[in-house]
Chain A
């Protein structure tokens, strides 16, 4: 108790030094937590944007479809699989697709592109296709001959909403398939290559034209908990059987996940440098504080304070400053991360067009705003790390003190 009282008074006597240390600690804690939250938030958003734009968080395909994406390796019993999926509580939504290619023709020109069947209502729950509508209307399950087209693709085809075009393709039974289509709606996902080549029709119409009833190339799934995706993947694989392959976004977006891992490693390196700088700055303050009273510490030891108790005293001082500094920094950054999770930081001041151009190069979804990720348990752990770092900063002064006998310390000027 007396040591605690001494620690408090020592800090109060040297107000300026204490305030600077607290501010330094608060600032570094806030920065550490906020940078991490922004990093996590941007990664989460990147995954969400990439997965939800079209590929989905999870995909079911025929076992050999990836190596040989042809009509012999389809999911041929889609209703049975969909019935199984309906009963899984760890799945929040699913939708079947049939991806194919077609040659589109207008009066002026013919261009090849994707020709994909979707289940309009359920598709809206597994991707952002519906939300990406920019003109006209999204598809419905009653539609026939209606086409939902990427804006860039529409530009190439020189068509707009309401215009007619025809397509020619190969049906699921390798027969010849062709029909007229009317552009019902245009979409823009900001994924340039996708917007430049994708076109969708209602699956029931597609099945009729392409003879693909009960078949699908993919079933897209959204798990109830994204964080549990690995476990859901394993469970699902057991449920659907060996003929069907289950993949999650970590496999589908392998390059993106790898890029994020590399980014994470660079973040850790940056943070490590940050830690070293903060550690030394706080350690210098702790050292100055101890160095200025080596004589006093010599007296304490002379009258019976053990080296361990001297260490306790210094640790208590560091702990008090650390708790206040980390507390202030942690509270401020928690508030900020919570706020910016709901109100993502806008980088629009760089100009939307420039940002879109930048992302276009990498075929990624252009995002002008980045949210933070508010994660209270993680913030608590980060605050604890900063507190430990603060406590560790008194180790060097302690080593210096150990070199002095009480009498040497008392003679120290």
Chain B
């Protein structure tokens, strides 16, 4: 059984109106464990919508997403939240850290929701922070950190609870090339060392070339799906 299966996924926005848009138009996709995949394509091709539906943040108009035997498109809001908490880590383009929590609390947030003991989440937070070279910012609040630092904390938050899947929507979009390169290197390392399946979207060629599998979307359809050498 595949780790992640996407079947005939369709998403229509503003259905029935003049501005009706077929964001996803029958996507079929199978993903194995520990893959490192980039989804690329021009703006409006459906990259973000696909990631959102795979992550259970949005619901499809048609079709389904199966993650290790769980049809996540059928789950209730509450079950989806629990499912995301346990299985999926998110890295957003706009970092989306919780402003009232320190970097340390942001990183450990999901682990705390999962009920991990303090000693466990403290140790894991420190471990991940050291790995990402952000351990000296742990007591700072997000608004006292640079964009690059915030994004690394967002990555730390996504990986700290050891999810099965990390979804990153244009994680380098707000970073300069140096920080973008560092982040990709970091994600690749996490994929290799922590054995986490990572799917990210991007339209930056420098970022895309680091992936081991590249999926290209256009007008809501997959027009290319290749394994990189």
A interface residues (Cβ-Cβ under 8 A, vs B): 1-2, 5-6, 9-10, 13, 296, 299-309, 405-407, 410
**Whole-angstrom distance between the alpha carbons of A388 and B58 in the complex?**
35
Check: B101 CB closer than 8 A to any chain A CB: yes
**Residue in A9, A10, A13, A304 whose CB lies within 8 Å of B81:** A304
Instruction: Tell me which of B107-115, B170-178, B196-204 binds A.
Output: B107-115
**Known contacts A405-B58, A406-B57, A407-B58: does B77 contact A303 (CB below 8 Å)?**
no
Do residues B100 and A306 form an inter-chain contact, with CB atoms below 8 A?
no
Q: A2-B109, A2-B112, A407-B58 are in contact. Are A303 and B99 (CB under 8 A)?
A: no
Given known pairs A305-B113, A405-B59, the reply for A296 and B78 (CB within 8 Å) is no
- Establish whether residues B110 and A304, one from each chain, have CB atoms under 8 Å apart when the complex forms: yes
A410 with B58: CB separation less than 8 A: no
Binds A, one of B61-69, B84-92, B211-219: B84-92
- Give the residue of A5, A304, A305, A410 whose beta carbon is less than 8 angstroms from that of B105: A5
On chain B, the number of residues with a Cβ less than 8 Å from chain A's Cβ atoms is 26
B134 at the interface (CB under 8 A from A): no
CA distance A299 to B95 in the complex (A): 10
A/B interface sample: 7 pairs, CB < 8 A: A2-B101, A2-B109, A5-B105, A304-B113, A307-B81, A407-B52, A407-B58
A410 to B98, CA, bound (A): 12
CB distance from B196 to the nearest CB of A (A): 16
B96 touches A299 (CB 8 A): yes
Residues of B within 8 A of A (CB): 52, 55, 57-59, 77-78, 81-82, 84-86, 90, 92, 96, 98-101, 105, 109-110, 112-114, 157
Contacts of A301 in B (CB 8 A): 81
Chain A residues contacting B101 (CB-CB under 8 Å) are 2, 5-6, 9
Q: Tell me if B113 and A407 are in contact (CB < 8 A).
A: no
- The CB with the most chain A CB atoms within 10 A, among B81, B96, B157, is that of B81
Apart from A296-B99, A405-B77: 12 A-B pairs, beta carbons within 8 A? A1-B112, A299-B92, A302-B57, A303-B85, A303-B109, A303-B157, A304-B84, A304-B114, A307-B77, A308-B78, A405-B58, A407-B52
| B100 touching A304, Cβ below 8 Å | no
Chain A residues near B96: list those with CB within 8 A. 299, 302, 410
Q: Which of A5, A6, A306, A407 contacts B57 (CB 8 A)?
A: A407
* A290 shortest CB reach to chain B, Å: 14
A2: which B residues are within 8 A, CB to CB?
Answer: 101, 105, 109, 112-113
Q: Which residue, A5, A304, A405, A407, has most C-beta atoms of chain B within 10 A?
A: A304
- Complex-state Cα separation, A225 to B116, whole angstroms: 59
